[in-house]
Amino acid sequence: MSVFLSLGSNMGDRLFYLREAIERLTHNPSISIAKKSGIYVTAPWGGVEQPEFWNMAIQVETLLPPRELLRVCQAVENSLGRERIIRWGQRTIDIDILLYDNIVSIEPELILPHPHMEEREFVLAPLREIVPKLILPSGRPIAEVKGNGEVRLLPV
């Protein structure tokens, strides 16, 4: 199955956390990386005063069911010191499942497709880079959708 993940970090060595999260995801033999976007610098979302985020998107191939993939993502977050203190607050790493093939889920622990992805440019810009012809869950082409917030590509 083809799955799209969003990664973000705004604490400490953000580049380390992004790279290490990808590395740790691939420690699972059921996950392989198909594509990676560049890194986009963005203002924080949700009104909490904090440092800028570095965000990216990756496409993975996996046979893990959605809830099991969520557990793997959360284990990677936890292993990298992620603490859930303030909603939309600072974090070493955040890994969100955006799209999991064509699966729709409305379970409390996992909503698919991600309910806010089409509102946030920090999600759309890196996703647009790796799948420019993607049709979003709304039925609109990603190339025609601009989310809220400004992003800039980090020259890494």
Domains of the chain plus CATH, in order, are 2-153 (3.30.70.560)
At residue 85, the pLDDT reads 64
Tell me which residues of the chain have a pLDDT lower than 50: none
Q: Which pLDDT value is given to residue 47? A: 64
Alpha-carbon distances of 141 from 74, 101, 132, rounded to whole Å: 30, 16, 8
What confidence tens digit (pLDDT) does each residue in 139-155 have?
A: 999 999 999 999 999 98
What pLDDT score does 46 carry? 63
pTM for the full predicted model: 0.92
pLDDT at 102: 87
35 three-class SS: strand
* pLDDT recorded at residue 86: 59
Residue 94 to residues 67, 77, 115, 132: CA-CA distances in angstroms? 16, 6, 16, 23
Active site residues: 82, 91, 94, 96
Query: Cα 95 to chain center, whole Å?
Result: 5
Token code pair at residue 14: 């953000």
Return the pLDDT at 97. 96
